[in-house]
Each structure stands twice: as structure tokens, then as C-alpha cells.
Amino acid sequence: MIFKRITGGSPLRRLRCKQLVLTVFTVLALLIMLSYKSYIPVKPNYLSRNLKNGDDILNGSERRNNVAFIPNDLHKQQADMESGQIQEMIAENGIVELEATEEIPNRSKTAYYNGVPVYYPEETDTKVNVFSERKMTQNGFRASINGANIPEIRAAPFIPEKRVVHFDLKGAPPKVSYLEQVFQIISKLGATHVLLEYEDMFPYANDLSIIKAKNAYSLNEIKSMLSAAGSYNLEVIPLVQTFGHLELALKLKEFSHLREVDESPQAICPSKNSSLDFVTDLIEQIIAVHQSSKFIHIGCDEVFYLGECNICKTKNRNSLFLQHIVKIAQFVRNKGFIPIVWHDMMIHMTFSELKRSGIGNLVEPMIWVYAEDIYRFVPETEWKKFSDVFSTFWSASAYKGAFGETLILPEVKRHIDNNANWLAVMRSEGTRFKNGVRGLVLTGWQRYDHFAVLCELLPGSLPSLAMTLSLVSNARIDLPIAKKVYQVLECINSPKYESFFDLTYDPKLVDKLAYCFFPGASFFKALYRLEKLQNEVDKTWKAATYERGWMTDYNLRYNFSEPSRVDEITSELNSLISSVTVLAKNFIEAMDDIFDVYTVQEWLEQKILPLFELLGKLKSRKKSLKSHKAWKVRPFTSIVDWKKYDLNLEILFKVEKRSDYLVT
């Protein structure tokens, strides 16, 4: 019939019929395309992150905490649901809102909820979201929505064979007696090794004796530490920097001749024979005390100065780096140890450069990313390159010291995200390597480098360490595992510890662990009070000097203010000073069994003294402003020296100097 209408009749009628049919087919095609689009996963906006602190650089219009990957079929199911149905699914299964998704080719499918992968044990009756105490059926999530089952999501678990806890000891050594207690805790939670980074805390001897700190461990203390680790079946891996981060020695005049650049003590010059002699001396003294160790970490990360001295600048930078590492690695191999190196200096090198150097047969790379998005910093192309060069690799996550140089408490949720994502990456990428994954190190940085102030200390980070270590030791965190953590952290027998933790409302676990008494618990709890007090002091100072109009710098400069307003603004000043004093005494008591007096003093200077000083300035400002009983008449003759700001305002401020409004 349609064909007859098109072919029959007048030419004008045939033309109109053809146009009508074409329009109908165009509309149908558009409808089909729109329908198909709903099945295509939404591509997430990516963030660029600093590997250590995870700082965000937006690459899109939306900020995201991390990148989530969900299988296409689940995303399709989600796309087909109405909003109310999604909320019903969330309510029934305890799942936080599903995020934008993307399936990556040639990578195993991993289900993520709220940016965190769901890991399932191979042989168990229940499977649990790493952030949820709600259990699922043996077949996975099976919530029925209008008769349609949510598809089962299953991801094979990955538990690294070697689970290593890193202790950064530089410049603030915990007492050996305290470390022994921590070794016992991590052994119970699944650790197999400890990575000890002594830096200036090692008792170097002979020509190197001048580089050790005055409060370094004694040789007997080192032996006691190693014995304690062995008693809890923890193998020890020593870490000694051999290229960059050698500030402990290069800061001294006696070793300044080894610097790559004269103005910085960060890295040695690899072209000097004396540099190699210095590094091998470091290694020999370390391995002499660690004869039972199998591995030694030789550092080599963040070599900020390379190829810049008169000798080195004539050579290829990558060749300089690789030649130095090969020499060190051969030395370590000849001593009977397997050298480990950080990966970051090799990530931009070509396969040919790495292969020609022979480094693949000498060292094992440790790939470190502390932010949530691992692939952002080590994309698939790099994994392929590393697997073509090396037969195995180590991963390095973090439980503290990654998200801010001056933090006092770790952000537990971010560290759990980081470790959970590492498990997924190791499971996916480990198959590329001939000998798979060697292990995972949970790093715990105490300073960002030798010159930096202290960040999170060990006793305040034990909850984060306990949770992240439990995750990587079990490939999940469910209620039974959480209960074990509570038990190991010596939490009281209470209904409070019969339930799961909520990192959305308690991201640092200070509320959940309020009644736990692990070693250093009093320090951990006091840190939360310190955070609140820091906010109160900052808020008071800002209000007094910037937001209110009677105690600003201008008021102080001309001693011009209304006393009752000053009293009003500083009404809580004495209370704040008293609170800081009490808290300082609490910290001194809490730290006494953990650190030596030098570390306690340094930490108080960095975290408590600024509060005293800020409140002291406010008190002095109050005293000055209230000391006047009579005030000058405006306008005031400016007492600001504008010339030092390159502003010549003499003409503007040239007024008759009358005594009735001159400020003295």
C-alpha cells in the first residue's frame, strides 16, 4: 500500500510521500541511537594526583575522589532503573550510590561501590563489601527490583604473599619497647615482614659516625629490635638510600663534596668514585647487622638533581641513573641480598634503555602510589614495559604520611581506598610478570624528607595501620574482621564493638575507637582534641584580627579601639590558653613511654607551641588596646613605611604635623 502511494499519483504527491517516509525513518533511527546510548557506560572525569599527597588537579567539570570501574552489564542495569528503584536497591543492600563507570579493556572486571572494590573470598558462604557490615547471599547481590535480579558480581580475591609494614624512623625514633608491642599487633593482623628505614637513626661507625643523629639507636637496641621482629615471625627488610634523599650526610660540610649541585644536599653525584665508596660503606654497615635478611631496599626515589654537575651534564640522564643503580645492585647481589628499588625514576624511561642496562636481572622494582587512583600514575603501558623488563614487582601503598606534610591523624578512608585499589591492580597486573607479585608494602612516612617537620606519628596511626593491614591480609573487611581488629586494639567488651565502623561520619575512627586501649591509645585520642583545639584557636584568631573590626592590625598600629568590644572578642581567650596547657601536659604524659625527650620536645614545638604563640599574640594585642584611656583625633599620620613596598606616597601623606593627632 505504501509503495503504491509513493509510486502512484502526481509527481508532487510522490515527492511528498517520499519526504514523509524519510522523516519517519530518521526519527526511528534517532530513537534507536538514544536507546543504545543508555547502555554505554559513562566515562568518568579523571583527577591528576600527586603520588604522595593525592592533591587534585581537575581534568573535567566534576571532582571525584577516585576512579571506579563497574562491569558493563551492571551499569546497563543501573541505567535502566528509575531513581526510586536505585534508592530501593541501596536501601536493601546497604550500598552507597553507584558512581560513573568505565570498563577498561584487557583488565579484569572489578565491582566498585563508592569507589571501593568489593573483594570476595574464594571459599566462604558470605561475601561482603569492604565498607559494609551487611552480608550478601552466596550468589552475591540478588536484590529483586520489579522481578529483575541485580546481576551477580564476583571478583577473585588477591592477597599478597608478602605483607610488609614500613617504619620510617628518621629523626624521631620510637622506643624499642614500643616497637615490640607494635610488632605483636601487626603480626596478629597478618603482616609477614617489616621494612625498617633507619636513616639517621642507625648507629653508623667510623667515617660515617658523624651522620647519625645524637639520639640514634645503639647497636644493642637495633639487635633487640630485630630479635623482637623475629619473635613474631616478621622478616626484616632494611632500607638505605643510595642516590637521592641522602640529606643526612650531604647536609654536612664533610660530605658536601659528594653533592650533585652545591646548593642542595638532596642527591649525590654518580660520576664521582667517592660517591660509590660512600654508598657501599652505608650498605656494608647496614647488612652487617641484617645477615638474616633476604632483601635490602636501596631507595633511589625522587633523585631531584641529576645530570647537572660539570661532569654529569655531558652525559645522558637516564644512563647516569641506570649505571649508578647497576653498580649498587651488583654490589648488593655479591653480598648475597636481593636489591629492591623505588620505581618512579624509571617510569619515563624506554623499554630499550631499561633492557640494555641489565637492571631487570639485578633489582626488583617497588611501585609506589599513595593516592586512590593507581592507574592514573602507572598506566597500562608502564605495566607492560615493567613486565617486559622485570620478572616480578612489589607494590607500595600507605597507611599514614601520604596526604599532607603536617597532618596529625591519618585519613583512614583514603588509605583504605588506596589499599583496596592496589589489591585490584595487583590481581590484574600480576599475571603480566613471569613470577607474579612479590608483595605489598604499607608505607608509614614520618617526614616527607630529612628536613621536613613531623607528620602523623606511629601511635596516632595504629588504627589506620590495623584497618589497612587487615584489608590486604584478607582481601576484604567485614564485621568478623572488624571485630578481630577491635580485639587486637584492646577495645572494651561493649555493644559498641559488635557493629561495623562508619568512615563517612567517623573518617579517622576517633569515635569508634574511643574505648580502645592499644599501645599509644591515649596519644591517639588526644590528637582528636588537638585537631578541635587547633580549629578553635585559628577561628578565634581569624575572627579577632580579620573578621571583627576592633582588633585588626590597623587598630593595633594606632592603638585605636573600644575596650568593651575587645573584651567581647577575647571572652574565650583565657579558657583556650588553659585548654592548650592541659592538652600539652596530656601529650607529654602520653608520649613518655613511646618517644625520647628530644622527639617529644620537637613534636610539642611543631604542634603545640604555635597555639601558645598565637594566643599569646592575641593576649598582647588585647593588653595594648586596653591600655589607653584617651584616644587621638582622626585622621592619623601614617606610620607605615610605604617605600619598602615601592610605593612613594609622601605627597599623599604630607600633612601638617599637629600634636593633637600625631601618633607616638
How many Cβ atoms sit within 10 Å of the Cβ of residue 257? 12
CA distance 264 to 250: 8
- CA angle, 471 as apex, 470 and 474 as ends, to 5°? 80
Helix (H) or strand (E) holding 493: none
Q: Return the DSSP state at 328.
A: H
In angstroms, the CA 148 to CA 52 distance is 44
267 contacts 244 by C-beta, under 8 angstroms = yes
Task: Give the closest residue to 244 by CA, choosing from 318, 321, 348, 311.
Answer: 321
Closest-CA residue to 316 (of 356, 355, 344, 353)? 353
Cell, residue 575 = 579558657
DSSP 635: S
Asked if 197 is an active-site residue, the reply is no
C-alpha 158/C-alpha 156 separation (Å) is: 7
The full DSSP string for 238-300 is EE--SSB--HHHHTSGGGGGGEEETTEEEEE-TT-HHHHHHHHHHHHHHHHH-TT-SEEE---
Q: Catalytic: which of 99, 197, 247, 302?
A: 302
For residue 582, report the phi and psi dihedrals to the nearest 5 degrees. -65, -45
| Residues 6+ away with beta carbon under 8 Å from 46 | 59, 60, 64, 67, 373, 376
Contact present, 179 and 228 (Cβ < 8 Å): yes
Query: What contacts 24+ positions apart, CB below 8 Å, involve 182-185?
Result: 182/458, 182/462, 182/519, 183/228, 183/229, 183/231, 183/232, 183/234, 184/232, 185/462, 185/466, 185/488, 185/489, 185/518, 185/519
Phi, psi of 381 (to 5 degrees): -60, -35
Q: In whole angstroms, give the CA distance from residue 422 to residue 396.
A: 8
Closest C-alpha to 199, from 153, 155, 247, 232: 247
Three-state DSSP at 564 gives helix
Q: Which amino acid is at 390?
A: F
Q: Are 135 and 92 in contact (CB under 8 A)?
A: no
Give catalytic residue positions.
302
